[in-house]
Chains A and B, each alone.
Chain A
Amino acid sequence: MMLEIDHLTLRAGEFLLKEFSLSINEGECVALMGPSGCGKTTVMEAVCGLRAEGVLNGRISLGGEEITYLPPGARRIGLVPQDVALFPTLTVREQLEFGPKLHRWNREKMKSRVEGLASDLGLSDLMERLPKGLSGGEARRVALGRALSLRPRLLCLDEALTGLDEARHDEVLQLIREMIVREKVTALHVTHSRKEAEAISDRIVEMS
């Protein structure tokens, strides 16, 4: 089992998530669906370590290791948030190098990883651009590359395709699917769209 959420109860402001459990096998892509306000994003944030102070009960394990209270940076989880959140002052290259630089990868390893990702994601011609010069689809691809840069154990996609027009939406959806397979990464995909969930995921989990 790659990800195991076991009877997780947590408080996020006024919201209370009660006794939530979920298991994802290694290499599996699971879509988490449910009505607005049911706590999909909160679950994802808890998995990423962004809600650790709100955990009241239960545990989260990744690859057999308990990570419930582990700092986000120590979990090796890549996050593509809904609003993409590309760092506005960094170029595409700097976004992709951000994680590897923090982890003090050697120059060769980092260069090889960043150029490989840029090539796979079709970003090679955009490397010196700032986020404000990117289209919605390009920004999604950069955010995906940044999340994958450290070869994460789990990729979290939080409504990562919201706001794209139909053509870009299908193109990025296809790319995400390809990258998940190519990188052999386990993925948790939060979405409202059943079509999107069916296209990208091996299994759909409904939250109520």
Chain B
Amino acid sequence: MKPELPFVLFLTVVLVAYVGMLLLMVGANVLTVTWGDLGKILKDEDILRSIKLTLVTCTATAILSVLVSVPLAYLLSRYQFRGRAFIDTLLDIPILLPPLIVGLSLLILFNRMSPASCCWMMAGGLLLAALVGFVLRDKGGGRALVPGALIVFAGMFGIGAVMVNGLGSLEEVSSGMGFPMTFHPLGIVLAQFPVAAAFAVRTMRTTFDQISPRYEEVAMTLGCHRGQAFSRVVLPLAGKGMVAAGTMAWARALGEFGPVLIFAGATKGRTEVLATSVFLEINIGNLPGAAAISLLMIVLAVVTLLLVRFFVGRGGAI
């Protein structure tokens, strides 16, 4: 017997066990669903609206996540500053939190807090960060997130708080501006966003870490400032990473259930997305219907992943 055989066998057993479990889960769904069930859900107006809303909200969340994750990940990848490790940990919190808490926090934020109280909280947080930066200023670990700048930002939030004092809750303000959030389709994007963006930031961070800073340095000797080096040299190299981050965010948003249910609700034909459709079908005891929708979600996820792999795998930056 070759000496490596037991090890290879062990690896194979783990592979078979894990992939087998995934296939069994999908298989169980497939065996529960008949063509009749599939036909029925594809003719159901509410489900069709749910599919459409799912695709629109997931795409919006993915785009928003990429837009936010690119600068954030670049900042964390390229700049050394005190508090970087703390911010890095903070960005992972949405991934670690139970999804229901994300939804509940959004619900409380929008319905219990006013713009003024949000500004005061931001000002307080920035002052605290400035104080920590000041105390640690001589203890190494790179440049500080300059305490002076943090105090200026805190002051701006303080002035903002005074200016918006007396307005109602965030929900009342956003509704007044024509963008109602709670129990509204826009709220679905907001509920999907924190976790999706956290995954996108992780993906982009890895992407930027893998791009040598030497490219930017050479670009800067040729006349670029930091921003130009980023847009002309780094961004074209990060194309695949951006697609991967967008896909990751899209897939996370597709499966987001807890925050959507708590913050946007599950009103049929209004805030119902596929993940909540499954929940609603189970609630009324329609297991085949729930399984059929699950199958649809699996197909959507697999097709998306395959399409992305196909386009990204064609080589070159996108």
Please determine whether A73 and B225 come into contact, CB atoms closer than 8 angstroms: yes
For the complex, give the distance between the alpha carbons of A89 and B215 in Å.
Answer: 11
Closest to A82 in B: B214
Q: Per a CB cutoff under 8 Å, which of B221, B228, B237 touches A89?
A: B237
Q: Report how many residues on chain B are interfacial, defined by Cβ distance under 8 Å.
A: 19
A27 to B222, CA, bound (A): 21
- Most chain A beta carbons < 10 A, residue from B143, B218, B224: B218
Number of A-B contacts (CB under 8 A): 61
Contact A98 B221 (CB under 8 A): no
Q: Does B317 contact A (CB under 8 A)?
A: yes
Report the separation of the CA atoms of residues A88 and B317 in the bound assembly, to the nearest whole angstrom.
Answer: 9
Q: For the complex, is A75 an interface residue (Cβ under 8 Å from B)? A: yes
Instruction: Render B202-231 as a binary contact track against A, CB cut-off 8 A, 1 for contact.
Output: 000000000010110111111111001000
Q: Is the CB of B220 within 8 A of A72?
A: yes
B186 at the interface (CB under 8 A from A): no
- Known contacts being A53-B143, A102-B228, is A85 close to B223, with CB within 8 Å? no
In the assembled complex, the Cα of A102 lies from the Cα of B232 at a distance in Å of 10
Q: Which residues of A contact B316 (CB under 8 A)?
A: 89
Q: When the two chains form their complex, are residues B222 and A99 in contact, meaning their CB atoms are under 8 A apart? A: yes
Size of the chain A interface, CB-CB below 8 angstroms:
26
Cβ of B317: which chain A residues have Cβ within 8 Å of it?
Answer: 88-89
| CB-based contact A48/B221 at 8 Å | yes
Whether, in the assembled complex, B305 has its beta carbon less than 8 Å from a beta carbon of chain A, the answer is: no
By a CB distance below 8 angstroms, the chain B residues around A99 are 222-223
- A49 CA / B215 CA spacing, docked (Å): 15
Instruction: Tell me which residues across on chain A come within 8 A of B269, comparing CB atoms.
Output: none
| Shortest distance from the beta carbon of B286 to any chain A beta carbon, whole Å | 51
Q: Is the CB of B224 within 8 A of A81?
A: no
**Closest chain A residue to B220, Cβ basis:** A72
Contacts of A103 in B (CB 8 A): 223
Bound-state Cα–Cα, A50 to B316, Å: 29
Q: Does A176 lie at the interface of the complex (its beta carbon under 8 Å from any beta carbon of B)?
A: no
Say yes or no for A66: interface residue by CB 8 A criterion: no
The chain A residue with its CB closest to the CB of B226 is A71
Give the residue of B214, B225, B237 whose beta carbon is less than 8 angstroms from that of A83: B214
Which residues of B lie under 8 Å from residue A85 when comparing CB positions? 212, 214-215, 217-218
Instruction: Tell me if A71 and B225 are in contact (CB < 8 A).
Output: yes
Chain B residues with Cβ below 8 Å from A89 are 236-237, 316-317
A39 within 8 A of partner (CB): no
Report yes or no: A49 in contact with B214, Cβ–Cβ below 8 A: no
CB closest chain-B residue, reference A87: B233
Q: Are A81 and B218 in contact (CB under 8 A)?
A: yes
The chain A residue with its CB closest to the CB of B316 is A89
Q: Which residue of B lies closest to A89 (CB)?
A: B236
**Which residues of the other chain, A, contact B236 by a CB distance below 8 angstroms?**
89
A81 neighbours in B (Cβ, 8 Å):
214, 217-218
Within 8 A of B (CB), among A76-117: 77-79, 81, 83, 85, 87-89, 98-99, 102-103
Q: What residues on A are CB-neighbors of B233 within 8 Å?
A: 87
Alpha-carbon distance between A73 and B220 when the two chains are bound, in angstroms: 5
CB pair A78–B215 under 8 Å, yes or no, is no
Q: Can you identify 20 A-B contacts, CB atoms within 8 angstroms?
A: A45-B217, A48-B217, A48-B221, A53-B143, A71-B225, A73-B220, A73-B225, A75-B221, A78-B221, A79-B217, A81-B214, A83-B214, A85-B218, A88-B317, A89-B316, A98-B222, A102-B223, A146-B222, A147-B221, A150-B222
18 further A-B contacts with Cβ under 8 Å, apart from A48-B221, A72-B217, A81-B218, are: A45-B217, A49-B220, A50-B217, A50-B221, A71-B220, A72-B220, A77-B221, A78-B221, A85-B214, A85-B215, A85-B217, A87-B215, A87-B218, A87-B233, A89-B316, A99-B222, A102-B223, A103-B223
